[in-house]
Amino acid sequence: MATTLDQFVDERAQARRLRDFLHDCAGSAPCEEADRVREALTLLGGAGLDGATPFDHARIEAMLACGAAMSAVLEILGPDMPFMLSRGGSDSCLATVVPAGGPEEAIAEGPTLALAMLAGHVAAVLSRMERVGHLIEMPMASASLRLH
């Protein structure tokens, strides 16, 4: 049971970090795109939405070195992730990411297209974690009720 509780605590902490990251993306300046992409690589554990496909760090770093943050974000999303981007008149960008097998899309905002898209992807990861976490949390709650 300690392993399950430890796993639950770790997942909750990871979810909190991802939520904080979403706020960082929305509040970042355009010149901070590369920093947010590198931070996302660390937060996501070096793998895509499925957690199994490793990122090509060298390729992503080369894109960032050339100022191609949007290309780097697209590399993180992978070739099959459906998305939609829009940019308003006040330099506010909106991204919608539709993960395969997910019940709904993830929508995020950022000051640039790359930051909005990155935040949308992280929101999709967070949504998946929360759905799985909810399934884990339910048996723990019922076990707790039985103890009292």
What digits encode the pLDDT tens for the residues 33-54?
999 999 999 998 876 665 667 8
Non-local (6+) Cβ contacts of 83 within 8 A are 77, 95, 96, 97, 98, 117, 120
> H helices of 78-112, where?
none
In this structure, are residues 115 and 28 in contact, taking their beta carbons and an 8 Å threshold?
Answer: yes
The predicted-structure confidence for 70-114, as pLDDT tens digits, reads as follows: 999 999 988 888 899 999 878 789 999 988 776 678 999 999 999
Q: DSSP letter for 111, please.
A: S
Q: How far apart are CA 110 and CA 123, in angstroms?
A: 12
Average pLDDT, the chain: 81
The predicted-structure confidence for 53-65, as pLDDT tens digits, reads as follows: 788 899 999 999 9
Given a cut of 90, is residue 125 above it in pLDDT?
no
- For the whole model, what pTM was predicted? 0.80
Sheet bearing 83-87, strands edge to edge: 83-87, 93-97, 106-110
Is the pLDDT higher at 117 or at 148? 117
